[in-house]
Amino acid sequence: MRQRSFFSSCLLVVLVLLVFLGLISFTMAWWGKGALRAKEGVGVVEVKGLITESRPTLEKLNRFQEDQQIKAIVLRVNSPGGAVSPSQEIMREVEKVRRHKKVVASLGTLAASGGYYVACSSDLIMASPGTATGSIGVILKLANVQELVKKLGVEIYSLKAGDLKDLGNPFRPLTPRDRTVLQHLLDNLHQQFIRDVARNRKIPLEKMKELGDGRIFTGEEAKQLGLVDEMGNFEDAVQKAGKLAGIKGKVEAIYPE
């Protein structure tokens, strides 16, 4: 009987200790998380690789906009571009965030096409002299595998309602009408790109049309042309953003959790 009572007491002590340790761990984690935000800092939102969707980037921008300890945001871009629509969505979200907090774009090794598109609406754009940027244009690549399919002995049947429903079908050649329609689409997207950059960078539209021929610029050239504001690396961008936001002393870069 005494042995059972002893083991019961030991078990109770162990359970109490486990609960106590759990509470300590939770408290330390809670205070640690609070400590991260106890000091004012600059939020860092990274745009890396091909831009195929916007939602993760939009969520990070919104989170930092709402965080009172985040006084400014650095948009770090290392991207060759991607789809037009998500690039536009990120660009427009940056425009909204700018109404509340300063946004500094930091261009890495490559910030071209859609990579530049997302950055162009920032308050300030910084790049290294050797950054590859620009490429303000739109491209569409299509393949015609008709002959390959024939060699494989495969027949492809395409049933459609609407003359242009199979536009870009890889199993037939492009018709002159196909080319006209696709070129019109690309031209329209290209003009949207040019207008957005001209508006955000305050560059005359006619000059922007000259710059928007798809060519790549170095960071140094981009600065001379008005596409970039200052030369500087990522750390320079963080400190610049903090200074614009009025943070005193060395600025801390804070990444999304």
Catalytic annotation, residues: 113, 165
Q: What angle in degrees, to the nearest 10, is found between the helix axes of 55-66 and 84-97?
A: 0
CA nearest to 117, candidates 27, 26, 4, 201: 201
Q: What string of H, E and C letters represents the secondary structure of 219-231?
A: HHHHHHHCCCCEE
Cα 254 versus chain centre, distance: 16
- The C-alpha atoms of residue 22 and residue 153 are separated, in whole angstroms, by 67
Tokens representing residue 249 in the block:
């002393």
Q: What angle do CA 178, 183, 189 make, to 5 degrees?
A: 135
CA-to-CA separations, 232 to 43, 129, 235, in angstroms, rounded: 18, 8, 8
SS3 65: helix
Please check whether residue 236 is in contact with residue 76, taking contact to mean a CB–CB distance below 8 angstroms: no
- The C-alpha atoms of residue 221 and residue 93 are separated, in whole angstroms, by 27
